[in-house]
Amino acid sequence: MDLNKKYAAHQKALIFSKRADSDADRRDHLAEAEGIAKEIGTFQLGLGAAAACAWCALHLTAT
């Protein structure tokens, strides 16, 4: 997994959620960001990385 690409995609999804024209679009972007955060957390957890806990918890506060 290319973490830099995942981090960038996560940030873009959050930025797009702030710029969304509708609540539905905002929710879609936040759901995308949440999914990416889960992927990052799962990957890091598999590596035993300390940062994994933050990414796993991040999706709980995304809404």
The yes-or-no verdict on residue 11 having pLDDT over 60 is yes
pTM for this structure?
0.78
The yes-or-no verdict on residue 59 having pLDDT over 60 is no
Tokens of 52: 């994994």
Which range marks the domain in which residue 14 is found?
3-61
What is the chain's mean pLDDT, rounded? 87
Domain total of the chain = 1
**Average pLDDT value for residue range 37-55:** 81
CA dihedral 42, 46, 51, 52 (to 10 degrees): 30
DSSP 60: G
Tokens of 20: 């969304």
